[in-house]
Amino acid sequence: MTEEELAQLFDQIIADNKPVDYEYRLYYNKETGEPLFYSMEEHHDGDYINVTQKQHSEGRYDILVLKGSIVRQNDAVSWTKLAPSESGTRCRADNAMIVDNNSDIKWASKTYYLK
């Protein structure tokens, strides 16, 4: 095989290759906006947004997903407070700081974000 034939064969192989279109995803909790995991695969049981290759490779978990876009937590205005909850810590009725396993009242921390 001559160099010219080898070059033609190489050019033919290169021409047949098509670029692969990767989809980089960030799966997140839709209620809280917290990131769950980064993936390039489709997971049928989760909400996700498409991210850039750079964001995917950084793999940051100190962010939030609000209104379909990434927001750094220090940029998001938020506050956390105790709120009545179906699942949480059982506390006394007169003081949420005292844990009482016999109480029917449950409290959990809830984070609110400025929209």
pLDDT band at 26 (very low <50, low <70, confident <90, very high): very high
**22 and 40 housed in the same domain:** yes
- Given a cut of 70, whether residue 115 has pLDDT beyond it is no
> Which pTM does this prediction carry?
0.54
Tell me: the pLDDT tens digits for 51-80?
A: 999 999 999 998 989 889 998 876 557 788
**15 and 68 housed in the same domain:** yes
Residue 65 CB-density burial (10 A; 0-12 exposed, 13-18 middle, 19+ buried): buried
**14 and 40 housed in the same domain:** yes
**8 and 64 housed in the same domain:** yes
pLDDT, residue 75, reads 58
Tell me: the pLDDT tens digits for 40-58?
A: 988 888 899 999 999 999 9
Q: Domain total for the chain?
A: 2
**Full domain range(s) for residue 56:** 3-72
Contact in structure between 65 and 26 (CB atoms under 8 Å): yes
**12 and 60 housed in the same domain:** yes
